[in-house]
Amino acid sequence: MENSKETGIKKLLENIKKLKSSMAASYIREGKPESDMSRAAVMFNNFFLHFQGVKTHLNTLRPTYTFGLGLIALFLLVFTTISGFLLMIYYNPSIEHAYNTVKDIRYVVFGGDLTRNIHKWAGEGMLIFVILHMARVLYTGSYKRGREFNWVIGIVLLSLTFVLNFTGYLLPWDQLSYWALVIGSNIAQSPKEITDILGITKFFDIGGFQKELLLGGTIPGKETLTRVYFLHIMLLPLFLFTFLGAHFWRVRKDGGLTKPDDFVPSISPEKMGGIFTTHKTYGLMALARGKTPAVDRDVENTVLSWPHLLRAETAVFMLTLAGVLIYSYFVSAPLKELAAPLIPENPAKAPWYFLGLQELVSYSAFMGGIALPSLALLGLGLIPYLDREQDHVGVWFSSRQGLYVTITSFIVGTAVLIGILVIVINFGWFRNWWPDVPQVLITLVNPGTIWVAFTIAWSVLVINRTDSTRMGALALFTLFLLSFLILTYVGTELRGPNWEFYWSRSQWPVH
């Protein structure tokens, strides 16, 4: 016993000495990433890394192919989540205290103002980068070859990003929050416009139900804040992260990012290293029937993810973090007066990313607030199913013709949209010409619906002229992007009190 006791202590001391290396070895089980094998194993065996391939295609690393847009959106989500946790420590979701706690976060919490700015700008940055990422995916034709459904998931993520931003906007309970909530809840109620026309509001008041679901009442109040808070911190993030998981999982299963079929590497193959010699696959070949999705035919154009991909990702991470921090250092998140339910803001504006919609809403609440956005999301979601041409994937604009179609669509679309806006702003619409026009006509025929009709007609025309559905997709998406840009600009900068037209904010009558 005496003997074994000594050995026991000895063993313990030995283990303590080896603690550092044994702990490291237990985490990185395959030793230091010195050989290609162990580098591959690091990626493969690590929970946090294994959702990326062991090897990464050179095209994926090409900065001008992706511009890191999706990755930036992801990192912004990480920052906004972490800063959100920090803000939750101080924020109190009750109408008595919400505003004051936001003020306190600003004035007396160490780094509170900066954290709030980061939360705000990273959230809104997400919107921008999700849209840019979507544009990249579309213009490189990356919604094809098995990636169709992942594009649809992307659309869901885009919508969730909008709603998350909107619910966050409501939490400080200032004038901006309150009146955005009034407008938002009434947009939710706007199907009433249609049920009223059909005369079925009494039995089937879907609009009223949606509004009361959001508000927990008929006007924004304490119930509303509870619900919005719950949506913002719990339900919507849960959905977002779930769909995000599916989004990444599918990217991985589809064999990583798209790449041109005729990719020519700019470095010699022997530098790339590798353990695979032939084709690689991502399907369960032996167990499942059917085709395996997206098999790489150019394994030779890949490099090991460790360190190449991770270096690139880390660089984008730091770039994003630095960008958000510097922007938040200089620009403060807005906070207006405490909510005053009896004193509407004039103009009462939704947050900027909804001002394009608000412009549409100023023609017809139901069309602008529900029908057209749903139609836009539906149209975007259908793109991969309506355009099934499988060539030119992974090339920006597919071809010279694609670039030409995009530019032409941009120019024609800008001219037409501005033309429509000029008519509306100068001459008004039906009701200004025939005061007794029935509401159903305005709901159905208004500048918004005319514009959407034009985008559809133009895309069909492009398909007809080029004999290519891919060109139609390019045209449709370009017009979508363009209308988002122009309408948002008009709603933000050119609309003043009473939603009247002003060339700039400085011309607004001072309120």
Partner 1 sequence: MYQRFYTALLIVSSVALFIFTLMAGYREITPDYKSYKSEYRDLFRSKATGEFMKKKAESIDFSVQQVYLGKLNRIDRCINCHLGVENPLMEDAEVPFKMHSGNYLETHPVAEFGCTVCHYGQGRATNAEDAHGTDRETHWDWPILPLKYIDSACAQCHDQEMLAENGADRVLRGEKQFVEKGCRGCHKVNGIGGVLGKALDGIGTQPRAYFPMRYVQGDKTAYTWLKEHFDDPRSIVPESEMRIVLLKDEDADLLTTYILTIRADEMPRDYRRIRTGTQEVPGGEELYKMYCIACHTTGKYSVYDEIFKRTIPAIMNPTFLRVADDNQLRRFIEDGRANTQMTDWKEDAAGLTDDEIGRIVEFLAKSRPAKRGKLFGRSIFDGDTARGRDIYETRCALCHGEDGMGGKNRLGISLVTPVVKEADPEFLLQTVRDGREGTPMIPFGSSGINLSDQDILDVVGYVRTIKPTASPKE
Partner 2 sequence: MSGETQGKRKFSRRDFLGLATIWAAVISGFTVLAGVFRMTKANVYYEDSKKFKIGKPEEFPIGTVKQLDEKRVFIFASNDGLHAITSVCTHLGCIVAATDWGFQCPCHGSQFNSDGKVIAGPAPRPLPWLEVSRHVDGNLMVDASKEVKPGTKVKIYL
Interface residues with partner 2 (CB under 8 A)? 179, 182-183, 185-187, 190, 193, 196, 209, 212-213, 216-219, 221-223, 342, 344-348, 358, 361-366, 368, 428, 431-432, 435, 439, 442-443, 497-500
Residues between 151 and 190 that touch partner 1 (CB under 8 A) = 174-175
Write out the two tokens for 27: 């985490």
Burial class (CB within 10 angstroms; exposed 0-12, middle 13-18, buried 19+) of 206? middle
Phi and psi based region of residue 220 (left: phi greater than 0; alpha: psi -120 to 50; beta: remaining): beta
Closest CA to 186 of 379, 344, 333: 344
Kindly tell me which of 303 and 357 has the beta carbon lying closer to partner 2. Answer: 357
93 touches 86 (CB < 8 A): no
Q: Supply the minimum distance, in Å, between the C-beta of residue 250 and partner 2.
A: 26
Kindly tell me which of 180 and 405 has the beta carbon lying closer to partner 1. Answer: 180
111 part of the interface to partner 1, by CB under 8 A: yes
Q: Supply the minimum distance, in Å, between the C-beta of residue 337 and partner 1.
A: 5
Site string for partner 1, 231-270 (x = CB under 8 A): ------------------------------------x---
Number of residues in contact with partner 1, rule: CB under 8 A?
A: 39
201 binds, among partner 1, partner 2, none (CB under 5 to 8 A by kind): none
447 touches 363 (CB < 8 A): yes
148 part of the interface to partner 1, by CB under 8 A: no
Q: Supply the minimum distance, in Å, between the C-beta of residue 336 and partner 2.
A: 16
Among 28, 82, 86, 114, binds partner 1 (CB under 8 A): 114
Close Cβ partners of 496 (under 8 Å, ≥ 6 residues apart): 347, 502, 505, 507, 508, 509
Residues between 290 and 349 that touch partner 1 (CB under 8 A) = 303, 308, 311-312, 314-316, 318-319, 321-322, 325-326, 329, 335-338, 340, 343, 345
Q: For tokens 């025939």, name the residue.
A: 434
DSSP H helix total and E strand total for the chain: 23, 2
219 binds, among partner 2, partner 1, none (CB under 5 to 8 A by kind): partner 2
What is the DSSP code (8-state) at residue 333?
P
481 binds, among partner 1, partner 2, none (CB under 5 to 8 A by kind): none
Burial class (CB within 10 angstroms; exposed 0-12, middle 13-18, buried 19+) of 157? buried
Tell whether the torsion through CA atoms of 428, 431, 432 and 434 is positive or negative: positive
Q: Are strands 55-57 and 302-304 parallel, antiparallel or unpaired?
A: antiparallel
Tell whether the torsion through CA atoms of 297, 299, 305 and 311 is positive or negative: negative
286 binds, among partner 2, partner 1, none (CB under 5 to 8 A by kind): none
Report the distance separating Cα 292 and Cα 177, nearest Å.
50
Site string for partner 1, 429-468 (x = CB under 8 A): ----------------------------------------
- 3-state SS assignment for residue 91: coil
Residues contributing to the site for partner 1 (CB under 8 A): 58, 61-63, 100, 103-104, 107-108, 110-111, 114, 174-175, 267, 303, 308, 311-312, 314-316, 318-319, 321-322, 325-326, 329, 335-338, 340, 343, 345, 509-511
